[in-house]
Structure 1
Amino acid sequence: MEYRYLGRSGFRVPVLSFGTGTFGGSGALFSAWGSTDVAQARRLVDICLDAGMNMFDSADVYSKGAAEEILGEAIKGRPRDSLIISTKATFRFGDGENQVGSSRHHLVNAVDAALRRLGTDYIDLFQLHGFDARPPVEEVLSTLDTLVKAGKIRYLGVSNFSGWHLMKSLAVADRYGWTRYVAHQAYYSLLGRDYEWELMPLAEDQGVGAVVWSPLGWGRLTGKLRRGQPLPEGSRLQSQTAVDSGPQVEEEYLYRVVDALDEVAAETGKTVPQVALNWLLQRPTVSSVIVGARNEEQLMQNLGAVGWNLTQEQVARLDAASAVAKPYPYWHQAGFKYRNPTPV
């Protein structure tokens, strides 16, 4: 397993990490992802560790805390310093007025609760699950800095921030000497390349590593979707709740990308998901790509995305198939590439 630095930090993470959204299966959204129990989770963790993939990502809202609890049971008894545990909080977790957001009150309670569910005394990477505009950025960052200094968190990140959200936060951290964000858990795939327009240049400039979620386009790049054919059994796309909660994709665009993936997969002898994941691993600023799996077969297939590389020509073909028109001001800036170079 290849390891990379997490942004501009000294912390190294595997290029593939395991997402626990399939653990638990509580609620309409997460039941469509999977319902892995403790015994199954232990087996998946074993496979990950055997392959050198020792980073496990979760969140408090995944199955209402059950995913963190199951992960905690699955890693119990293993050397803690051989594991990288990543989790998130910000979204509503309870009915109370203060059981949501990034206030000092909620973040302190959320971190302590996550530590209990995970059965550990520190979190390697803690991320805000989304931007909360209500509390001052100073309140958020000073709270997180205190949690880092208390030893409860090692590294900080965010998820689903816009460029100005992230840049404002980094500027405030620098102003007061507080701990900086070194990771941005962002949606990025061959079906969703918005990350490249502003977040990628920002990440390169500011040293923020991308931790990619839903790299297979919300289950659309599994290799099972084909023109004119019904959705495969068991696909999360069978659940309208899951579809409505995820990124929307026009059908013709989807199949244009799938056709290109099929061609490259045939040339390389790899599967469509392996090609899609490998494409991501060659993108600038990407530190780690989160893969999920409902079973051992899916996990082993995802692990086959590493240890080889697409050719430059194959990458260019996939780039062309997945290209979309840029919104303003990015199309305008593209006319001055010699002043606004693409991250490399």
Structure 2
Amino acid sequence: MTQTPLVHADRVRTWLCDHALPLWSTAGIDPSGAGAWEALEHDGTPQRSRDKRLRVMPRQAFVFASAHMAGQGDYLALARDLFGFAMTRGFDPDTGHLAARLSPAGDILNAPHDLYDLAFMLLAAAALTEAGIDTSDALSRLKQSLNQLKAPRGWYEDAAHSLPRRQNPHMHLFEAATELFRVTGDPDWRAVADECLGLFAEVFLQPDGRVLEFYTRDWTPVTEGQAVEPGHMAEWVWLLDRYELATGQGAGAEAGIDADAMFGAAIAARDGAGLLPDSLLPASDSRRTWPQTELLKACLARRRQGKPELLHPDAVLAPMFAEYLETQVPGGWYDKRGLDGRLLSTDMPSSTFYHLHGACTAYLAAAED
């Protein structure tokens, strides 16, 4: 099938390599050695007095290790340092649990041993391993930490076995395990990915293409407080494609997964600007940056698979740039707007770079094919 060309590669490369990576590798990093700042102001200055989330450290480590592997700059030492900080300062010395929130100086404020945060530690380890860094000791500890959360099916959300059960941490554990299997070939990580895939096929994905977020202890969807986020529907399209690349096996019809229906439901959720709202259930009047990046990646995954272009990637990229990336500080972003286009965010969360770097790098790779 003839593919319509991708026309914004130069724009994407300039934003990412000339502006975003230099900005977030300097202004985005605490010079004291206490990891990455939680956010920058819209003028690019750090929010030095704000608490830090542990998850930002491995997310940024993943970004900078991935940038190194993509030939986007010399960021591997920074990636190693951020991951090292999380490994050495991120575990509570009394409980051994992974921290979630840190003080501005990097001291642990709470350590719930959250599955979501642990998934990103594993994802960072995968990227560093691929870049040639020895993470064997760290992976051994992280594997033990993950085993502490093992449930009869899936994994508990934290050490307290909090409810509701959540789709989102299992999605990111699927992502991390898929990448670890791709990089290391360790069958244990393939087994983790396959268990998450089974939950997705049999529990999370609904016949109409929606993905439900919250569940009871036995994986029954909750009736009160349920949510549907179209960004996650798009994200699963991308992650299923990554699984296929890593394993050489499809994750589609044989597992009962209709990714086409999920993608169709996601693109049907777009607003008049062609962008995704934060939530369909409950209906939201806002849209953050990250769902747009996942929609772009979903379009790129379908393009790689040779499927019909129901939505061209440039139809997502162009409004994403216009609404979120044309900022007063080159390489920054506006993180949240109303459906009417009003700017709602007041700063630039560091955690968003994980989404933007992944989308831009995927776009550049597709443009070169």
Considering the TM-score relative to the shorter chain, is it more than 0.5?
Answer: no
User: Per residue, is there more strand in 1 or in 2?
Assistant: 1
Q: TM-score normalised to the size of structure 1?
A: 0.28
